[in-house]
Amino acid sequence: MENTQHGKRPRVYFGLRSPYSRLGLHKVARSGLDVELIPFTGPPDDVAFSDPAANKYKFAYFAQDVPRATAAMGLPFALPDPFEVSFKPANRACIAADMAGHGLAMALALSEARWGEGKDISNRAVITDAAVAAGWTGYDSDAVEADPLISERLREDREKITADGVFGVPFLVAGPHKYWGQDRFDLWVAEQT
């Protein structure tokens, strides 16, 4: 479904580290609306990253809220093991998949592997399995790692993160309007229909 404002597709910033991003991606997929997907590689350079897992009160809330929000959407939930991994290979794979026309499917498949099955998405075999689940047969981990176009796209995406003032995920930017949090995506989807 077409949904452009000011001649641009809305941008959706997602982070594979975040279970809330997973829920936001599902809301985008279920809406059928066309968006530009951008992996979140951290806040703008002039802003410190505030790790919700480092705040014991936020983490306690997270441990209670994520399972119920996930269940409300009819999705399985599993804590990733290990929790802290390098997201670089998965982010690069998402960009490559997007360039091949499988961006949303790949982001969803990796989110499902991490938050639905508890898998280590820094593992090449897990990323390969996610590519298959996304219907993308062109995944080659060595090629994705070496591709200068993907590196350039990551640089461009960092500029967009700064320009849009993205401080957390999921984050949607539609023209001058910003929506932070998967629950706010509902407002945006309602405005499109």
Residue 64 is assigned to a structural domain of this protein: yes
- Mean pLDDT for the chain? 93
Residue 146 lies in a domain: yes
Tokens of residue 119, six digits: 């898998």
Evaluate whether residue 45 is within a structural domain: yes
User: Does pLDDT of 3 surpass 60?
Assistant: no
For residue 12, pLDDT over 80 is answered with yes
- Residue 29 in any domain: the answer is yes
* Structural domain count, the chain: 1
Tell me the residue range of the domain where 103 lies. 11-192
Is there a domain that residue 2 lies in? Answer: no
Report the CATH number at residue 140: 3.40.30.10
* 13-44 pLDDT tens trace: 999 999 999 999 999 999 999 999 999 999 99
